[in-house]
Amino acid sequence: MKKGVVIGGEFGKVIVRQKSDSPIELGELVIAETGKKRCCRLSTLLMQASFPSKTLSSFRECILKRMKTSLFLTLI
């Protein structure tokens, strides 16, 4: 089951973006696959911390959808 993708980090602190529908628990063991299938290197990773993030860099870019009126608003 895919759990996420490595997007950065350093030794002892690998940063993974989690797949939204399969969260990683604290203390969970997961495998990162590097390379092609036949000469694949697997890294066993232990989950240590998690925090929410977003692609939106500021409120100016935050687009909200009003469900009732279907009116798009852009916040200043």
Q: Which residues pair with 18 in a beta bridge?
A: 4
Cα–Cα distance for residue pair 50/63, rounded to 1 Å = 25
Q: Please tell me whether residue 58 binds other proteins under the rule CB under 8 A.
A: no
Q: Which is nearer to other proteins, 34 or 60 (CB)?
A: 34
The only residue of 37, 59, 60, 63 in contact with other proteins, by rule CB under 8 A:
63
Q: How far is CA 52 from the centre of its chain?
A: 9
Q: Please tell me whether residue 67 binds other proteins under the rule CB under 8 A.
A: yes
Q: How far is the CB of 61 from other proteins (least distance, A)?
A: 10
Q: Please tell me whether residue 23 binds other proteins under the rule CB under 8 A.
A: yes
Q: Count the Cβ atoms, other than its own, within 10 Å of residue 30.
A: 18
